[in-house]
Amino acid sequence: MKHALPKFRIAIVGAGAIGLYYGGKLAQFGRDVHFLLRGDYEIVRKKGLRLRSKTENIHVAKVNAYCSTEQIGPCDLVIVAVKTTSNPVLPSLLAPLLGEKTIILTLQNGLGNEEFLADHLGADRILGGLCFVCLNRTEPGVVERYYAGRIAIGEYCGHLQPRTHDITWEFKRCGVVCGVVDDLARERWRKLVWNIPFNGLSVVAGSIDTAKILGDEKLRLLALELMDETIAIARACGHNLPTALGLEELKRTPQMGDFRPSTLMDYLAGRPLEIEPIWGEPLRRAKALGVAAPKLEELYQQLISLDRAARK
């Protein structure tokens, strides 16, 4: 029988929708969670966290909130949920949280994040997690969930270890659908099959939600073409995704309603876009393997242009 880990000290680094939601779920069930907060700090300290959906209305009244990782100190588990655009500062940001046996679980999007953390902080610490969920941070300290989804957790290198199952069980005990995967890289590509078209098209097609993409015949076809290119790249990299996965994702997406993907939320807020890990790195791998991906390359260039214009 699995046992909870009441003394497991957890740090949440990245207080966007993902970090606030999953950290909030853990805190709701009494886990020892410590949040690194910036803009939301004062509001969360005073009012706590709110997690909302059609089936839940959770208020975590007392939140362990901090302005720096030095204030938090060493933890057993560090959950990284910052945008990948902040990766250059992560090694120094995470350093005060690390003890000899600290585990780092990155929930970031795209390719290359585990490799980056492993290079700087040690490969034996690193786990990766894929969040198949639809969340938006609608105001400071408030997260709306539109699609329940799940988390898939795997080891960056080597076989699954007891720690992987222990962390998975902690999420399960706190009401999160969570499972382990023995091929983390394959799952990253599986998530990209959805992220590449819908996150990208939501921005380049005029700041539109997923329902509008599906409702436009040309955009729906383009989304499927992007999915097929992504599957082809993944298969060339040795990850045998089903060729029909794109159609399956299109059938699943209407369940999300008029969801605005995270890249669109970043764009509307004037934040830098996570272009390289989601579109740039898959494209570079395609070119290295001689896989044609013209739709992906066009989308990548469009996003770069829009991001540069926004930065000006």
Characterize 236-268 residue by residue with b for buried, 16 or more Cβ atoms within 10 angstroms of its Cβ, and e for exposed.
Answer: ebebebeeebbeebbeebeebeebbbbbbbbbe
82: helix, strand or coil: coil
Q: What are the tokens at 256? A: 């999300």
Determine the Cα–Cα distance for residues 53 and 135; give it in Å rounded to an integer.
9
Single-letter amino acid, residue 77: L
Radius of gyration for the chain, computed over Cα atoms and rounded to the nearest angstrom: 19
Residue with tokens 């990299």: 237
- Catalytic: which of 172, 191, 251, 295? 191
Amino acid at position 35, single letter: F
What tokens appear for 106 in the block?
Answer: 């990155």
Taking Cα atoms as reference points, which of 287, 81, 109 lies closest to residue 198?
109
Nearest to 168 by CA among 22, 17, 19, 34: 22
Asked if 129 contacts 12 with a C-beta cutoff of 8 angstroms, the reply is no
Q: Which residues contact 192 (CB under 8 A, 6 or more apart)?
A: 110, 111, 230, 234, 278, 282
**By the 8 A CB rule, do 27 and 33 touch?**
yes
Write down the H helix ranges in the chain: 17-28, 41-47, 69-72, 90-94, 113-121, 162-173, 184-204, 210-215, 217-236, 245-252, 262-268, 275, 281-289, 294-311
Residue 272 near residue 307 (C-beta atoms within 8 A): yes
Q: Is 191 known to be catalytic?
A: yes
Return the active site residues: 191
